[in-house]
Amino acid sequence: MSTKVLIKDLYPVIDEVLASGGQFTFIPGGVSMRPTLNGTDDEVTVAAAKSIGKYDIVLFRRADGQYVLHRVVGVRGDTFTVVGDNQIDAEYIGRGDILAIVVGYRTRRGEVSNTHAGARRAAVRRFLRKVKRKMINVKNSMAE
């Protein structure tokens, strides 16, 4: 028998496991990391982040306390630019906001250990969405 638990109810457990040097595996909710992660089918394993680089997927805490998985797309000192693979709007977070780094994930298609897989595809998709948005804006302005 399995019980469904909201991820926010696990925040204290996640914090404790990471603080003790352990790894935590969970099924993330949401769609921001699609197609890399499908929130209802995939398991993600995180561990305390010793080093963070471009294209790593990190678990961070927003100012409102929400835990979020996003990909690092830029690093400047202790400031990180993060965005979901299925999003175009970036967020800027500090090193202290990052709780963990994704060390692996399992999809319904099989085990995937390289968290950089799909990063290039995600960047292209974000670029194409921006182009599409601009084209729609031009089209709408011409119609007026």
Residues 6+ apart with CB under 8 A from 107: 37, 38, 41, 42
- The C-alpha atoms of residue 12 and residue 56 are separated, in whole angstroms, by 24
pLDDT for the residue numbered 52? 93
Q: What type of residue is 51?
A: S
This prediction has a pTM of: 0.77
Strands (DSSP E) contained in the chain are: 23-26, 43-47, 57-61, 67-76, 79-83, 91-94, 98-107, 110-112
Q: What is the pLDDT of residue 68?
A: 96
Q: What confidence score (pLDDT) does residue 22 get?
A: 95
Q: Say how many residues make up the chain.
A: 144
Q: Across all residues in the chain, what is the average pLDDT?
A: 85
Query: In this predicted structure, what is the pLDDT of residue 75?
Result: 95
pLDDT at 72: 93
pLDDT given for residue 109 in this prediction: 74
Intervals of the chain under pLDDT 50: none
What pLDDT shows up at residue 8? Answer: 85
Question: Which tokens in the block code for residue 91?
Answer: 């967020």
Residue 19 CA to residue 120 CA, distance in Å, equals 32
